[in-house]
């Protein structure tokens, strides 16, 4: 297997309605109110408007899923596409705890935003709830990963980090999100590209970005891997030093090369999307697709995507369902190749 792992192709910021750029984290949006009608749109003035929407992120606060949930809630309210929203967090096992709740949900106005992290976590956690238990709706965004160290770390480059692992093995701890998620895959691919034994990977999994950040700033771990948005503020403030990003191009505002530029044949980008419970009616599916489409096209959402450094990678309906099926097969193969599942 080539260690180059194109988890996504960089998405353009054009607004794609029914097709998108192929792209390679999990939030649930729970509509606790009911709609006034059965139309296919989520418009603010129509009879099908959802009155109350609760947004549940199946991760602890501070991470990319939580940020996505709150950005969705903000855009939906600002554009008056729903009456009100409420964001809650259900952390655990790479989003599979939230996925299990979704699988048993009977409301037809219940959404879950998920992503690459959940695809991997289902495999590594051997979750009984799987993506067979969802109704796919849309992919929303992509985001590069970034490898960071505390500002006072002796590691100035990703080569320094690699050589430390080569000499100290599991003495070098690397923080990231849930086991089997994007961060873990990125670490495994780096080890593979650097010809480091995968058994030397001392990966410390955290439920949310806030926890991994605290471990980094408290010098409890040597390095961290996460989405750029989760560490951007601390990088800008000089509290963390970026060593490399994982996409195909450098990231604006992050003074670090890509892994490929640094000499490691790895390319990986995270994606996030939104799904609904299983077995919802065709009318409910069309209504939710319309709501997500209106949100994605809104100026409020586009501004939030740009502000957080995400890339718009909208892909909806049947096309997203096809993409999701392909991702499940691809991620399983990657996890096997880097030794995270057997």
CB 146 within 8 A of CB 225: yes
Q: Is 128 exposed, middle or buried (0-12, 13-18, 19+ CB in 10 A)?
A: exposed
Does the pLDDT of residue 91 top 90, yes or no? no
Question: Which comes out higher in pLDDT, residue 195 or 22?
Answer: 195
Half-sphere exposure for 153 (CA within 13 Å, toward CB): 30
Cα–Cα distances in Å, from 95 out to 46, 64, 214, 342?
33, 12, 20, 21
Report residue 224 as tokens: 């961290």
Top-confidence residue, 178 or 170: 170
Domains belonging to the chain, first-starting first, are 27-142+272-331 (3.40.190.150), 144-245 (3.40.190.10)
The confidence score (pLDDT) of residue 326 equals 93
Sign of the CA dihedral with 255 first, then 261, 263, and 264 last: positive
Burial label for 117, CB within 10 Å (0-12, 13-18, 19+), is buried
Query: What is the tally of helices (H) and strands (E) in the chain?
Result: 10, 11
Which tokens hold the place of 145? 């990963």
pLDDT grade, residue 81 (50/70/90)? very high
Residue 289 near residue 137, CB atoms below 8 Å: yes
pLDDT band, residue 181 (cuts 50/70/90):
confident
Residue from 275, 271, 22, 16 nearest 138 by CA: 275
User: 3 or 186: which carries more pLDDT confidence?
Assistant: 186
Residue 208's pLDDT is 66
d(CA 122, CA 81): 32
Count other C-beta atoms under 10 Å from residue 77's C-beta: 15
User: What's the CA gap between 135 and 146, in Å, rounded?
Assistant: 31
| pLDDT interval class at 229 (50, 70, 90) | confident
Average pLDDT over the chain, rounded to an integer: 84
DSSP state of 232: H
What whole-number distance in Å separates Cα of residue 183 and Cα of residue 175? 9
Vertex 16: Cα angle to 143 and 306 (nearest 5): 40
Average pLDDT over residues 15-28: 36
DSSP codes, 182-227? HHHHHHHHHHHHTT--GGG-EEEE-SSHHHHHHHHHTTSSSEEEEE
41 with 134: CB under 8 angstroms?
Answer: no
**Residue 150, H or E segment:** strand 135-150
Q: Which of 20-34, 56-70, 106-120, 294-308 has the highest mean pLDDT?
A: 294-308
Is 60 exceeded by the pLDDT of residue 333? Answer: yes
Rounded Cα gap, residues 211 and 207, in angstroms: 7
pLDDT for 84: 82
């Amino acid at each position: 297997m080539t260690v180059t792992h194109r988890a996504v192709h960089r998405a353009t910021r054009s607004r794609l309605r029914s097709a998108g750029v192929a792209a390679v984290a999990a939030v649930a949006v729970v509509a606790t109110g009911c709609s006034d009608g059965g139309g296919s749109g989520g418009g603010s003035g129509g009879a099908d408007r959802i009155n109350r929407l609760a947004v549940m992120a199946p991760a602890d606060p501070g991470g990319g899923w939580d940020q996505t949930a709150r950005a969705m809630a903000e855009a939906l309210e600002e554009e008056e596409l729903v009456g009100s929203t409420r964001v809650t967090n259900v952390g655990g096992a790479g989003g599979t705890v939230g996925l299990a709740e979704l699988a048993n949900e009977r409301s037809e106005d219940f959404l879950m935003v998920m992503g690459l992290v959940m695809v991997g976590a289902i495999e590594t956690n051997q979750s009984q709830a799987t993506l067979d238990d969802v109704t796919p709706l849309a992919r929303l965004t992509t985001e590069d990963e970034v490898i960071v160290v505390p500002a006072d770390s002796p590691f100035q480059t990703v080569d320094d980090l690699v050589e430390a692992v080569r000499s100290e093995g599991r003495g070098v701890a690397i923080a990231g999100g849930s086991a089997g998620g994007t961060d873990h895959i990125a670490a495994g691919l780096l080890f593979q590209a650097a010809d480091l034994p995968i058994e030397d990977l001392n990966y410390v999994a955290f439920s949310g970005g806030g926890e991994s950040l605290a471990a980094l700033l408290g010098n409890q771990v040597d390095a961290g891997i996460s989405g750029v948005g989760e560490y951007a503020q601390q990088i800008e403030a000089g509290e963390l030093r970026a060593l490399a990003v994982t996409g195909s191009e450098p990231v604006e505002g992050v003074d670090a090369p890509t892994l490929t530029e640094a000499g490691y044949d790895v390319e990986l980008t995270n994606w996030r999307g939104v799904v609904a419970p299983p077995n919802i009616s065709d009318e409910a599916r069309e209504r939710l697709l319309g709501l997500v489409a209106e949100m994605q096209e809104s100026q409020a959402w586009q501004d939030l995507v740009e502000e957080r450094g995400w890339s718009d990678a909208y892909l909806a309906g049947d096309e997203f369902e096809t993409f999701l099926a392909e991702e499940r097969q691809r991620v399983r193969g990657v996890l096997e190749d880097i030794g995270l599942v057997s």
